[in-house]
Amino acid sequence: MVFKKCLLNFSLLIFLLYSFCAKAQRGTVNYKLTINEKNLGKKMEQNLIIYFDKLNSVELRVKPKNPAGNIPIDDLNQVKVLKSGKPTFVFKDFSRKKLLLSDYVGTKKVILKDTLNNFKWKILKEKKKIGSFNCIKAETAFRGRLYEAWYTENIPIQNGPWKFCGLPGLIVMVRDTKSDFVYELTGIDLNAKFENKIIGVPVAYEKDKVVTYKEFRILYKKKLEDYIRLSRVEQTTPDGITGTINIHMPEKQEKF
């Protein structure tokens, strides 16, 4: 009798785990990104949403109805994807280990390709609870910054914000050690309804040339040199005031 009861409980556990994993193959995840512009003495916040299925995901910037910029976990349907101009996006193709994303060169957006095999995570023994999630700490070095991440095995999705992925559970929080870039989980919906076509490169980029990460670095450095050169040139306004233009390019998350 006891054996049958244990077997029944075990079967129920397997069923619940299978049901969760099936649901976890499709849904949405929300993050808040805080960028600390220390040179300008200010902070900037962005709200992000990731649409995902078993093989792919796309991250887009969203505009909250809440003027404070916070996305309550129970109010995930109240966010609206920004559609003005070319949207900022990060597309991950897990089956091919490929990454496509948009980035700025000056004021122009370009689309570039990268790989998902970027992160060599070191999983640590340190654990803590973030919200309702039991989390495990991991660290990695990536393109000029050291990062610490907290992920949860309670949600078996090997994904996270921006380019981050590859941990054995969903990333709940990740930041560089100087807290210049901080990503925090604000919501998750495994029953989200959306069209399949949204998980892809936005159509606004369909005619754009895709550049490699190496080519992007060259373009960015050239634009930075142009801005520095312009900053040194004295210009005179119609009122006869002479001065130089101070052009600021936001700090990149990747240092090169």
pLDDT digit string, tens, across residues 100-127: 999 999 888 999 999 998 899 999 999 9
Q: List the chain domain ranges.
A: 2-205
The helix or strand, by DSSP H or E, that contains position 11, with its residue range, turns out to be helix 2-23
CB 206 within 8 A of CB 86: no
pLDDT band at 204 (very low <50, low <70, confident <90, very high): very high
How many angstroms separate the CA atoms of 256 and 248, rounded? 17
Highest mean pLDDT among 3-7, 44-48, 60-64: 44-48
Q: Whose CA is closest to 154, among 131, 184, 175, 176? A: 131
How many angstroms separate the CA atoms of 149 and 170, rounded? 10
| Helix, strand or coil, per DSSP, at residue 15 | helix
How many angstroms separate the CA atoms of 193 and 50, rounded? 13
Q: Buried b vs exposed e over 114-149: b needs ≥16 C-beta within 10 Å?
A: bebebbebeeeeeeeeeeebebbbbebebeebebeb
Residue range 6-31: mean pLDDT, rounded: 56
The helix or strand, by DSSP H or E, that contains position 176, with its residue range, turns out to be strand 170-176
pLDDT band at 68 (very low <50, low <70, confident <90, very high): very low
pLDDT digit string, tens, across residues 164-196: 999 999 999 999 999 999 999 999 999 999 999
What is the β-pairing status of strands 122-130 and 234-236? unpaired
Residue range 213-237: mean pLDDT, rounded: 81
Give the CATH fold of the 2-205 domain. Answer: outer membrane lipoprotein receptor (LolB), chain A (2.50.20)
Which pLDDT does position 227 carry in this prediction?
Answer: 80
| Helix, strand or coil, per DSSP, at residue 153 | coil
Which pLDDT does position 255 carry in this prediction?
Answer: 87
The helix or strand, by DSSP H or E, that contains position 10, with its residue range, turns out to be helix 2-23
